[in-house]
Amino acid sequence: MGFADGTPTPEACLEAANTRPVSSEEPVGTASRIVAGTKLCVLTDEQAVALVEAIGLRPQTSSGSPSVDLRVTLWRK
């Protein structure tokens, strides 16, 4: 999984997944670089490429857990 720029094509997303990885050390919470609008590219176990966009982030409330709204685009070979 890697960070994407702009509106990636399947080819650009594959390159981002391979060359701009998200570290296992990525901070969570307010220190995270993942904010609304962040685009991540993922290579699936079936060798398809997916673009995952964080379109909404809501903090934890007294009645529930924090949540993330995602939009996913999957490109199959």
Assigned token pair, 6? 């702009």
pTM for this entry: 0.80
Q: Which residue has the tokens 């994407």?
A: 4
Measure the N-to-C terminal CA separation of the chain; round to a whole number of Å. Answer: 18
Angle, vertex CA 14, rays to CA 26 and CA 16, nearest 5: 40
Helix (H) or strand (E) holding 75: strand 67-75
* Residue 51, number of CB atoms within 10 A of its CB: 22
Please write the tens of the pLDDT for every residue from 35-75.
889 999 999 999 899 999 999 887 777 777 778 899 999 99
| β-bridge partners, 64 | 61
